[in-house]
């Protein structure tokens, strides 16, 4: 049985009509709790020193002051504090994974579009990349493989891990689609663009050889950006994965037998709680 880290304070912001809405945490929290996964508060806290592992000087302050500019990523009261709670979930999940417990951070805001000095795509801090950096700072030489199955390319994560020693990155995503990147692979970052309409079987057929390829580097840890917007019922994208596919993704990651943790990225369908439950059924 794995661990789920969550804090309902991360549901205390939102804008009318914005897809990245409080229900994503609130309803999913209740669903995974009913399924026996008992969400717990983060075991660790996050602060400026954690943010500074990868983000630029002044990035956190720009979030506090609202001096950033991104039409998709508004300024909200206390958003910097809430983003740090979300980061704390990722740090806690990574720490639990290193202790042999597969873990999931059920938090918002998501993180994989946030770059060194950039707030973007509903993301303020790059939770997953920062969690990886913290692990590698604590244990030099630790080899981490990052898997991103969000429907959107994890451009922020790629920008932060590109060329990073002992780190590999794999993203399967719809292309063309926001943010318009991820058509080609670069260095230690492997990108697999998929056409709109790709279904679960086709997605898994693309994923399986790429996962094997990723494992050839013999990573010590799997870090997973778990986005559920490739779902066939998602309102903002065009892939056609079903609920069973997410369980199979989780199962394939579990079968690696590696220490592993995941963070919630996208997923804007009302079915998100069911999708997360299915993924955890495989991942744990």
Catalytic residues: 113
Give the tokens for residue 278: 């299915």
Cα–Cα separations (whole angstroms), residue 188 to 60, 82, 101, 213, 284? 27, 31, 27, 12, 27
Under a CB-based contact definition with an 8 Å cutoff, are residues 39 and 5 in contact?
A: yes
What's the CA gap between 93 and 248, in Å, rounded? 21
What angle, rounded to 10 degrees, do the helices at 23-34 and 272-283 form?
50
Query: For the chain, how big is the Rg over CA atoms in Å?
Result: 17
For residue 272, the surrounding DSSP H or E stretch is helix 272-283
What angle, rounded to 10 degrees, do the helices at 243-254 and 200-215 form?
10
In DSSP notation, 56-112 reads PTTHHHHHHHT----TTS---TTHHHHHHHHHHHHHHHHHHHHTT--EEEE-SS--T
Give the strand pairing for 221-226 and 260-264.
parallel
Which residue's entry shows tokens 């990574």? Answer: 94
120 strand-pairing partners = 123
In DSSP notation, 121-180 reads TTBSS-HHHHHHHHHHHHSTT--EEEEE-SSS--HHHHHHHTT-TTEEEEEEEESS-TT-
């Amino acid at each position: 049985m794995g661990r789920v880290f969550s804090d309902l304070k991360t549901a205390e912001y939102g804008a009318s009509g914005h897809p990245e809405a409080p229900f994503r945490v609130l309803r999913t929290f209740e669903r995974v709790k009913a399924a026996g996964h008992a969400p717990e508060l983060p075991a660790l806290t996050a602060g400026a020193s954690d943010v500074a592992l990868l983000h630029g000087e002044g990035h956190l302050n720009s979030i506090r002051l609202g001096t950033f500019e991104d039409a998709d990523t508004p300024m909200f009261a206390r958003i910097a504090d809430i983003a740090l709670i979300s980061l704390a979930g990722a740090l806690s999940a990574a720490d639990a994974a290193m202790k042999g417990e597969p873990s999931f951070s059920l938090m918002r805001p998501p993180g994989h579009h946030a770059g060194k000095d950039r707030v973007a795509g509903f993301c303020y801090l790059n939770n997953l990349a920062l969690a990886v950096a913290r692990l590698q700072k604590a244990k030099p030489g630790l080899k981490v493989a990052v898997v991103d199955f969000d429907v959107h390319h994890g451009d922020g994560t790629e920008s932060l891990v590109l060329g990073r020693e002992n780190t590999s990155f794999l993203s399967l995503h719809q292309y063309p689609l926001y943010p318009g990147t991820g058509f080609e692979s670069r260095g230690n970052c492997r990108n697999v663009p998929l056409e709109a309409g790709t279904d679960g079987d086709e997605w898994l057929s693309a994923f399986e050889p790429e996962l094997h390829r990723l494992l050839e580097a013999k990573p010590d840890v799997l870090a997973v950006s778990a986005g559920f917007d490739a779902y066939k019922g998602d309102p903002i994208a065009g892939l056609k994965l079903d609920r069973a596919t997410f369980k199979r993704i989780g199962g394939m990651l579990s079968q690696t037998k590696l220490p592993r943790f995941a963070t919630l990225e996208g997923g804007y369908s009302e079915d998100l709680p069911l999708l997360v439950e299915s993924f955890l059924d495989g991942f744990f």
